[in-house]
Amino acid sequence: MSAEEEDKTQDTTRTTAKTLWTETVLEILYETLRKKKDDTQLRNVLKEVQAKGFKREAIIEKVRKKVDAQAAARVRALLNG
């Protein structure tokens, strides 16, 4: 394998790992909401999601689609508070 091909493979591996971790963090957020965990736990997960580059409105919309409107309202309140 040439150096260029090896670089592309490493980049693809890094991108895949980053994408999987981002999806994992989002799934943790959804489960935290579904299990109605306390606000402290939820805030910690929200910080992690925001650290991945998600904006407030994008997080709220994802939660609304994957969990429900009540969970989205809770997320909105925590992000604004």
pTM of the complete model: 0.78
Range of the domain at 40: 3-80
Gap between the Cα atoms of 59 and 43, Å rounded: 13
Kindly report, residue by residue over 20-73, the tens digit of the pLDDT. 678 899 999 999 999 999 999 999 999 999 999 999 999 999 999 999 999 999
Contacts 24+ apart (CB under 8 A), 24-28: 25/49, 25/52, 26/62, 26/66
2: left (phi over 0), alpha (psi -120 to 50) or beta: beta
Q: Identify which has the larger pLDDT, 70 or 15.
A: 70
Position 19 scores a pLDDT of 66
Say how many domains are in the chain: 1
Cβ-Cβ contacts under 8 Å for 45 (sequence gap 6 or more): 25, 28, 29, 32
Gap between the Cα atoms of 48 and 81, Å rounded: 17
